[in-house]
Amino acid sequence: MAGQLADLWIDYHRKNALKTVHAYPTAIRSFAKFLDKRLSAQGIDPAQARLEDERLDLPALLHAWGQSLLQEYPEYSRRPWGLERALLALLSHGAERDLNIPDRVRRRAAAPPGVRKATGQVLDEFSNAERVAMRKAAQDDVRSLEKRLAQGRELLEAGQDPHQHGWLELPNLIWATRNGLVDSQTLGENLPLTRNWPSQLREFAQSTGIWPGIGLMGCLHRMLFPREIDLHPFRVLLLLAMTDCTSEELHALQVPDLEFSAEGVRIVQSKERAERIRADFHLTDASYGMPEEPGDKEYPGRGAWDVPGLLRRLLEVNALTRTVFDSEPWLFTAVESRRSVRMEAALAAFADPGRRFTHWLGGHSGPERPFPKGVSQPHDVRRLRKTAKTTRVVALGGTLTDLAGDDHSVRVFQQYYAHGTTAHVLAGAAMNRAQSKVFATVTGRATLVRPEDETRLGEPEVATALGVTPEQGAELRDGELDMGVSNCKDPHNSPHSVPGKLCHVAPAMCMVCDNAVVFVSQLPQQLMLFDHIQHMRDVLPPKTWHSVWGRQDAALRQVFEECTDHIEDARKTIEKQSLTLNLPLGMRTEYDR
């Protein structure tokens, strides 16, 4: 069967002029290894298995193989889907050419893969502290790069042709590097042993930790040209500043795609996945301050930190690279030892060992560095864009439509950005605010009347201030509207009962009702109700207690805070008069269990 599938793969590859071939042989090998174990367990000789063999339940074997792939690969891997899809494509191709293949195999080959295509692991944004630390670290690295290149150009101005003026002078070596005369063979032929180097060249090598041969060649080039690791700071800062630009769009930019003006920069961006080309204009941001000027020992750098300023600085650090090397005008052009013989300029891949985003972060992790405890995993540059998006979410704080803005549809924002931690926290805060407004509308609180005002409730001015008529005020004063632990302005118009009927939830809900009026003389009943509520805390489950008695408990505590001076006397009254709390039977059956 493995030979049959291999023949199908070769024929399928030639007839369709495929560019990639990796999935097909991998799928054949994986399926063959799986069949070796499975068929042997069923008593079938694997060496005799063929596609047209009627003894084999090939669809069932394909299903079992797909399930085994899910166990073999990580949760978010698309590899199981891709391998099963490749094998089904070969089977479908074979079914068109071989009439001996069983019909059930033909039907299975025409169906989609049984393994679901993984959508990929959902990436969360970096925390705000990490964003701030990355931005500062990137700015410091840009300043250091500009300082290093400025020193290299000073040495270049002082350098001369080493063939005439000697190979042991550092400026001459920099001059030779600028003019393309430095490679590993040339350095080996013209430089003596390390112990015979002059002090300037020895200190130069020691300060960078790089020694003769290819190491020194790279060290000389880094004084004039940026490496891939040097371009990560620009990448970080631009992705944090350009919320409408993806990492692949930024990586694909070339110098002709930029058009500068006094107001800012126009950028033509191409996104292959979406098959679209668009132009965005980024204004100069005055809030970033005036361009920095070099001169002090820390070398702050040249240019502003907004998008136009960063792009100007990136063009400046790569200006000599474009002059010396005949390479395409990529914005992120890096000079690296790609063949271990000569230094070459090419588009930075940010994918080779020691040159990835994770290596840049690792270089700033540790004690007394920007990231003392490291940076949260995974170290994926796409998280920078999500971080910038969520920063915009925090700034806007609006609806989902506002947050999606002009960059995405609401559906795209919902699927790829609204799942982030920051968005969830903001959504929770918005929900809490909305619920608080609802609770504030439907939940009131009792009104406390001081002893000096209690006797004046029948007066029109005092009654109006309380929100009742003088007649109701007189009834409150005389105790005719006493509901047990409080008084009620209108027992037949309660927000907790049907209008026109006597309130049936008193005194359980009185403390969270706008109709309730509490006198200081009723504090003994209030205290006994409070003691009853505390007793129920020990009886009821916590969740039930909070839902039934939580608000009443908070309301009573607020009343006690306003009547602190009378609490002790109220306790003494309860003890002297042996008062007890009389609660309706309905309340005990409804609220206390």
Distance CA 286, CA 13 (A): 58
The residue written with tokens 């099963």 in the block is: 84
Residues 444/511, Cβ–Cβ less than 8 Å:
no
Residues 318/298, Cβ–Cβ less than 8 Å:
no
Domain definitions of the chain by residue range: 2-110, 397-441, 447-591
Query: Alpha-carbon Rg of the chain, whole angstroms?
Result: 39
Helices marked H in 267-326: 307-317, 319-324
3-state helix, strand, coil in the chain (%, to 5): 55, 5, 35
Residue 35: partners with Cβ closer than 8 Å, 6 or more residues away: 1, 46, 49, 61, 65
Average pLDDT value for the chain: 80
pLDDT value at position 337?
A: 81
Q: Cα dihedral angle (328, 331, 337, 338), rounded to 10 degrees? A: -60
DSSP SS3 for 284? coil
> How does pLDDT run across 248-257, given as a tens digit for each residue?
888 889 999 9
Angle at 349 between CA 240 and CA 218, to 5 degrees: 105
Burial class (CB in 10 A: 0-12, 13-18, 19+), 223: buried
DSSP one-letter string for 486-526: SEES-TTS-TTS-TTS--SSTTTTGGG-TTEEEEGGGHHHH
Helices 523-539 and 564-577 cross at an angle (nearest 10°) of 80
Residue type, 525: Q
pLDDT at 410 over 50: yes
pLDDT at 314 over 90: yes
Q: What is the mean pLDDT of residues 474-497?
A: 79
- Side-chain half-sphere CA neighbours of 418 within 13 A: 19
> How does pLDDT run across 133-161, given as a tens digit for each residue?
999 999 999 999 999 999 999 999 998 99
Distance CA 535, CA 553 (A): 12
Residues 376/361, Cβ–Cβ less than 8 Å:
no
Distance CA 325, CA 221 (A): 12
Q: pLDDT-based confidence at 52, cuts 50/70/90?
A: confident
Phi then psi for residue 258, to 5 deg, are: -105, 135
- Nearest Cα residue to 278 out of 306, 244, 247: 244
Residues 329/318, Cβ–Cβ less than 8 Å:
no
pLDDT at 298 over 50: no
Residue 510: partners with Cβ closer than 8 Å, 6 or more residues away: 446, 483, 484, 485, 486, 488, 516
Residues 197/190, Cβ–Cβ less than 8 Å:
no
**Which stretches does DSSP call E strand in 209-343?**
258-260, 264-271, 276-283, 333-336
The residue written with tokens 């700034």 in the block is: 395
pLDDT value at position 380?
A: 83
pLDDT value at position 575?
A: 87
pLDDT at 309 over 60: yes
pLDDT at 30 over 90: yes
> How does pLDDT run across 190-228, given as a tens digit for each residue?
888 877 888 888 888 777 655 444 477 888 888 899 999
**Helix (H) or strand (E) run with residue 172 in it:** helix 170-178
Q: Structure pTM?
A: 0.58
Residue 336: partners with Cβ closer than 8 Å, 6 or more residues away: 227, 228, 343, 344, 346, 355
- Which of residues 62 and 304 earns the better pLDDT score? 62
CA distances from 141 to 77, 127, 229, 240, 264 (A): 35, 21, 10, 16, 24
Using DSSP bridges, classify how beta strands 264-271 and 276-283 pair: parallel, antiparallel or unpaired.
antiparallel
pLDDT value at position 146?
A: 92
